[in-house]
């Protein structure tokens, strides 16, 4: 062996800081914020990795504050959102997607339990804004503007607020006490928003609103049910799905017979079918296309099947059979699939003379589509903004929330000339292949969150795609000790960084990139 041989080691007894090795660099690492697929997919554009990271750090209140920046109804969304964020989660390609919706529900519950309230982000402006319709679009717009200091008044036709959340979605899916609590806690009470219920805005009221308010948001949803346009539709016992659900949700009598046909394939049809089933009726759901084409959420279709709703596909109602004005059955025509339409759904034909089928029923509930009623809006004025289902029929709560927020930004710009900008584009989205997976272990997903520890554990599974989560790997690997720890971030000291690129290579979340030195 080498005996007592010791290699020479250069040790400086003085500071080496004067030795600025960064001048050798041909490329430099920079921290970047890219967009995660979950945020891209979220119609409310919630900064999901940011609040998940705070949950992981046991900072639940801060996490909730990030969440409600964009979505004032996290508990509601935690119950009814179809969670496109989870479908696009990069972790889904590794083991299983994060349980984002369960964590969102958890934070929403924590907020109510601990009486957390959102804070104002602007001082009073004096400008008055009218919001017509108190669905998620109207509430979201009102919330965003009120916290910026605007004086907001909501006009609502019904005696209750919440739109479809209150009168469409059944109580067994979205308990009304939770809905009311969240609306009051997060939107109405912190910002003194005035609410005028039982005020259906017509042309006359609209004219008054135009004079009194500097800007108007119209979020009246789509409440006019489309007609079947078949003989017998005037019969006693034909009702629209929305009327049926509204009655149940308002605690009014919604009497139905023993056998009920529900026509349609969307959420309103499934909710009406399940609600009728819960009233003890035998329920036949009739849909003109095939199961895979149903626009209703998959989980809801499965629940309806479990509860005993009977599905009939490729059938189109052709006549409602009446006896002395009362329904005794429905006649349907059989269709045939011939290819796909431009939306990828089955194209169905109902040839002359195709077989007909009669089903004995006491009621027919129609839920084939809804249209907005904007007849009171007399002209397009600069200060008027339309959002939610009334605008694009996107048909989800989170889309309505996103659309209300978007309109609030436009109203703010209209009134002040100041833009509220956000860069959330798919072109800047992190792909699964870009992540460094060496730092992640397989872990199974928890679909239910049982308390803080379980929330922290599940949030800890987040890849934090494109968002530095201060994991410290760059800091540990930097051979030049050129990465400095700041309070809530890392910074690169370019006087000492030689541009070796190890930090960018190792970064698990793709939050560091190398750019050419100028
Ligand atoms: P709405 O929620 O429809 O609210 C509009 C409000 O405007 C209503 O309160 C209405 O009374 C009021 N209004 C209308 N006209 C006037 C007027 N002239 N003057 C004053 N007020 C007026 N989405 C999901 O994400 N998850 C679900 O599980 C889900 N389930 C659904 C179940 C059913 C039965 C239905 C019908 C829809 C469901 N949706 C679901 C879709 C979702 O509820 C809607 O996309 C969303 O509520 C649209 O929000 P909005 O604010 O645009 O309109």
Query: Which DSSP letter does residue 34 get?
Result: -
Exposure b/e, 176-203, CB count within 10 A at least 16 = b: bebbbebbebbbbebbebebeeeeebee
Nearest ligand 1 atom to the CA of 137 is 51
Write out residues with Cβ below 6 Å of ligand 1: 80-82, 132-138, 155-158, 163-165, 168-169, 200-201, 219-221, 223, 245, 267-268, 271, 376, 388-390, 395-398, 400
Tokens 């009051």 correspond to what residue?
184
- Rounded alpha-carbon distances, angstroms, from residue 495 to 158, 490, 507, 515: 65, 15, 21, 16
- The alpha carbon of 243 and the centre of ligand 1 are apart by a number of angstroms equal to 13
| Nearest ligand 1 atom, CA 391 | 52
CA of 221 to the centre of ligand 1 (A): 5
The per-residue pLDDT for 24 is 80
Atom of ligand 1 nearest to the CA of 403: 52
Tell me what pLDDT residue 378 has: 80
Which long-range contacts does 372-376 make (Cβ < 8 Å, 24+ apart)? 372/220, 372/221, 372/222, 372/223, 372/224, 373/220, 373/223, 373/224, 374/218, 374/220, 375/203, 376/201, 376/202, 376/203, 376/205, 376/206
Q: How far is the CA of 328 from the centre of ligand 1 (A)?
A: 32
How many angstroms separate the alpha carbon of residue 334 from the centre of ligand 1? Answer: 32
Token look-up 């972790």 returns 91
- Write the DSSP assignment of 480-503 as a string of letters: T--EEE-SSSEEE-TTT-----HH
Mean pLDDT for each 10-residue chunk of the chain (518 residues)?
65 80 89 94 95 96 97 98 96 97 98 96 91 98 97 98 98 97 96 96 95 96 92 93 96 92 96 97 97 95 97 96 93 94 91 91 95 87 90 87 96 94 82 94 93 96 94 93 88 94 95 92
Q: Measure 168 CA to ligand 1 centroid, in angstroms.
A: 7
Closest CA to 370 of 254, 215, 169, 223: 223
Cβ proximity of 499 and 31 under 8 Å = no
Residue whose CA lies nearest to ligand 1 atom number 39:
396
Q: Using most ligand atoms within 8 A of CB, pick from 85, 164, 245 the residue to mutate for ligand 1.
A: 164
287 beta partners = 313
Q: Are strands 370-371 and 224-225 parallel, antiparallel or unpaired?
A: antiparallel
| 245 Cα–ligand 1 center, Å | 12
Whose alpha carbon is nearest atom 47 of ligand 1? 164
81-389-391 Cα angle (round to 5): 135
Strand duo 224-225 + 215-218: pairing? unpaired
Residue 396 zone, left/alpha/beta (φ > 0; ψ -120 to 50; rest): beta
Distance between CA atoms of residues 113 and 117, nearest Å? 11
Mutate to test the pocket of ligand 1, among 135, 202, 299 (most ligand atoms within 8 A of CB): 135
Give the angle 67-71-74 at the CA atoms, nearest 5°.
Answer: 75
What is the distance between the alpha carbons of residues 464 and 473, in angstroms, rounded to a whole number?
Answer: 14
**Ligand 1 nearest atom to the CA of residue 201, by list position:** 19
Residues composing the chain? 518
What per-residue confidence (pLDDT) applies to 380?
A: 67
Give which of 77, 410, 415, 41 is closest to 218, Cα–Cα.
410
CA-nearest residue, atom 3 of ligand 1:
221
Query: What pLDDT does 393 receive?
Result: 64
CA of 217 to the centre of ligand 1 (A): 15
Token pair, residue 221, equals: 């949803």
Tokens found for residue 249? 């949700």
Q: Where are the alpha helices (DSSP H) in 59-121?
A: 60-70, 74-80, 84-88, 100-114
Residue 229's contacts (CB-CB under 8 Å, 6 or more residues apart) are none
- The verdict on pTM exceeding 0.75 is yes
CB 77, CB 107: distance < 8 Å:
no
**Ligand 1 atom with minimal separation from the 376 CA:** 18
Residue 426: predicted pLDDT: 80
User: In this structure, which residue's CA is closest to atom 53 in ligand 1?
Assistant: 221
User: What spacing in Å lies between the alpha carbon of 307 and ligand 1's midpoint?
Assistant: 25
| Alpha-carbon Rg for the chain in angstroms | 28
In SS3 terms, 330-369 reads as: EEEEECEEEEECCCCCEEEECCCCCCEEEEECCEEEECCC
Tell how far the Cα of 137 is from the centroid of ligand 1, in angstroms. 8
* DSSP assigned state of 421: -
Token duo for residue 359: 């089903």
Mutation probe of ligand 1 site: the residue of 85, 205, 221, 304 with most atoms within 8 A of C-beta: 221
For residue 118, the model assigns a pLDDT of 96
How much is the pLDDT for 1? 46
Distance 135 CA to ligand 1 centre (A): 5
Q: Which atom of ligand 1 is nearest to the CA of 160?
A: 9
Query: In angstroms, what is the span from residue 320 Cα to ligand 1's centroid?
Result: 29
User: Both tokens of residue 251?
Assistant: 């605690």
CB atoms within 10 A of CB 44: 29
- Using CA atoms, how far residue 512 sits from 467, 504, 515, in Å, is 9, 5, 10
Measured in Å, residue 411 CA sits from the centre of ligand 1 at 22
């Amino acid at each position: 062996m080498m005996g007592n041989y010791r290699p020479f080691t250069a040790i400086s007894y003085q500071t080496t800081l004067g030795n600025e090795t960064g001048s050798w660099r041909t490329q430099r690492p920079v921290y970047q914020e890219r967009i995660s697929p979950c945020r891209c997919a979220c119609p409310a554009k919630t900064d999901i990795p940011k609040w998940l990271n705070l949950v992981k750090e046991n900072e639940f209140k801060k996490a909730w504050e990030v969440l409600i920046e964009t979505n004032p109804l996290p508990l509601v969304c935690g119950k009814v959102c179809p969670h496109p964020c989870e479908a696009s989660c990069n972790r889904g390609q590794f083991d299983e997607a994060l349980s984002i919706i369960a964590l969102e529900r958890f934070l929403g519950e924590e907020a109510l339990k601990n009486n957390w309230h959102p804070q104002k982000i602007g001082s009073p402006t004096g400008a008055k804004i009218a919001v017509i319709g108190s669905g998620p679009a109207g509430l979201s717009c009102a919330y965003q503007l009120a916290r910026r200091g605007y004086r907001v008044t909501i006009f609502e036709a019904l005696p209750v607020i919440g739109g479809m959340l209150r009168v469409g979605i059944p109580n067994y899916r979205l308990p009304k006490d939770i809905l009311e609590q969240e609306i009051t806690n997060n939107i109405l009470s912190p910002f003194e928003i005035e609410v005028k219920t039982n005020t259906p805005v017509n042309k006359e009221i609209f004219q008054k609103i135009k004079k009194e308010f500097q800007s108007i948001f119209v979020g009246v949803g789509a409440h006019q049910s489309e007609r079947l346009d078949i003989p017998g539709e005037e019969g006693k016992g034909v009702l629209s799905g929305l009327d049926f659900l509204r009655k149940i949700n308002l605690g009014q009598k919604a009497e139905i017979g023993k056998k009920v046909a529900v026509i349609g394939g969307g959420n309103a049809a499934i909710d009406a079918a399940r609600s009728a089933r819960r009233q003890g009726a035998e329920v036949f759901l009739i849909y003109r296309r095939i199961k895979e084409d149903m626009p209703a959420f998959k989980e809801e279709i499965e629940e309806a099947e479990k509860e005993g709703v009977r599905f009939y596909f490729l059938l189109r109602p052709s006549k409602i059979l009446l006896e002395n004005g009362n329904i005794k059955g429905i006649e349907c025509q059989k269709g045939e699939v011939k290819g796909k339409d431009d939306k990828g759904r089955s194209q169905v034909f109902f040839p002359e003379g195709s077989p007909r089928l009669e089903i004995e029923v006491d009621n027919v509930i129609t839920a084939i589509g809804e249209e907005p009623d904007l007849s009171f809006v007399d002209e397009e004025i600069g200060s008027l903004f339309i959002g939610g289902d009334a605008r694009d029929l996107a048909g989800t709560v989170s889309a309505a929330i996103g659309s209300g927020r978007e309109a609030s930004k436009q109203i703010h710009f209209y009134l002040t000339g100041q833009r509220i900008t956000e860069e959330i584009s798919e072109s800047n989205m992190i792909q699964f292949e870009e992540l460094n997976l060496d730092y992640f272990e397989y872990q199974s997903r928890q679909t239910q969150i049982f308390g803080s520890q379980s929330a922290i554990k599940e949030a800890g599974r987040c890849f934090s795609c494109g968002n530095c989560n201060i994991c410290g790997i760059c800091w540990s690997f930097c051979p030049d000790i050129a990465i400095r720890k700041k309070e809530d971030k890392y910074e690169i000291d370019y006087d000492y960084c030689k541009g070796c690129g190890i930090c960018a290579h190792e970064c698990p979340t793709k939050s560091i990139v190398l750019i050419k030195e100028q």
